[in-house]
A and B are shown apart, each in its own frame.
Chain A
Amino acid sequence: NAGVIQTPRHKVTGKGQEATLWCEPISGHSAVFWYRQTIVQGLEFLTYFRNQAPIDDSGMPKERFSAQMPNQSHSTLKIQSTQPQDSAVYLCASSFSPGSETLYFGSGTRLTVL
C-alpha cells in the first residue's frame, strides 16, 4: 500500500494562472479530505468527500477554489486565477470511512504563486 499519493510535489505558477492538484487516496477508503497548511494559518480544513460525493466544503474559499472526485481513485483541487496568498502546502487525506478516526495524509503539494 503506497499510502495517499499527491502530485505534483511542487508546483510554481504565475499570478493569474490555474493550478490543479491531484490526490489518489488509499484504495478502499471512502472519505477524502483536503487541507491547506501555511505558517500563519496552520492546518486549515477545506473540503471533504464521502463515496465521491461532496459533503462539506465549508473551508473552501468561495471564489476560485473547486474540488472534485470523479471516481474513487482520485480527487482534484483546482485553483483558478492563483494569487500569491494561495501559496501553501495542500494536503490530501483519506480515511476508511468518515466516522473512522484516523486520517492518512499524503506528503502534500507545495504551491508557490509568484
Chain B
Amino acid sequence: SQWGEENLQALSIQEGEDVTMNCSYKTYTTVVHWYRQDSGRGPALIILIRSNEREKRSGRLRATLDTSSQSSSLSITAAQCEDTAVYFCATDKGGSAKLIFGEGTKLTVSS
C-alpha cells in the first residue's frame, strides 16, 4: 500500500479548536495535495505543498511537508462546523499526472 495506517482515522472536535491531520507516503512525490470531500460531492483541492517547501498557509489552513520522513500534515485553526468533511492527502508518485489518494480522515466539528 502507498499509505501508512496512521492515515486512516476519524476526528471529532468542538468548534473553535485546532486540529491536525497526518499522512505518510512511501513513494517519492513532487507535491502533496490536500483535498476535502463533502458528503455527496467529489473531492476539492484546498491546498498543495511542493517538495521544496516545508510549510504552506492558506487562510486557516496550514500544510507541512517533511520529505525526509515522507510525511505531511494539514492543520486547521479555529475549526468551524463547515469544516466538517473528509480530508485526503494525495501524491503524484514522482510527477505522474495521476494522483494517488490516501485513505482519508473524517473530521467532524460540532458546535
The finding on whether chains A and B are genuine partners in a shared complex, rather than unrelated, reads: yes
Interface residues of A (CB under 8 A from B): 4, 31, 33, 35, 42-43, 45, 48, 50, 55-56, 91, 93, 95, 98-99, 101-108
B36 to chain A minimum Cβ distance, whole angstroms, is 11
Contact of A101 among B31, B98, B100, B101 (CB under 8 A): B31
In the bound complex, CA of A31 to CA of B92 (Å): 15
Closest to B88 in A: A43
Supply 17 further A-B pairs (C-beta < 8 A) apart from A31-B97, A108-B41: A33-B98, A42-B102, A43-B101, A48-B98, A55-B97, A91-B42, A93-B42, A99-B97, A101-B33, A101-B48, A102-B45, A102-B48, A103-B43, A105-B44, A107-B40, A107-B41, A108-B42
Residues of chain B within 8 A of A98, CB atoms compared: 97
Contact of B97 among A56, A91, A106 (CB under 8 A): A56
Closest to A110 in B: B40
Interface residues of B (CB under 8 A from A): 31, 33, 40-45, 48, 88, 96-104
**Main DSSP-derived SS at the B contact region:** loop
Are B98 and A42 in touch, CB under 8 angstroms?
no
Are A42 and B44 in touch, CB under 8 angstroms?
no
Residues of chain B within 8 A of A103, CB atoms compared: 43, 45, 99
Are B42 and A45 in touch, CB under 8 angstroms?
no
Closest to A40 in B: B103
Contact of B42 among A95, A102, A107 (CB under 8 A): A107
Known: A102-B45, A103-B45. A45 touches B40 (CB 8 A): no
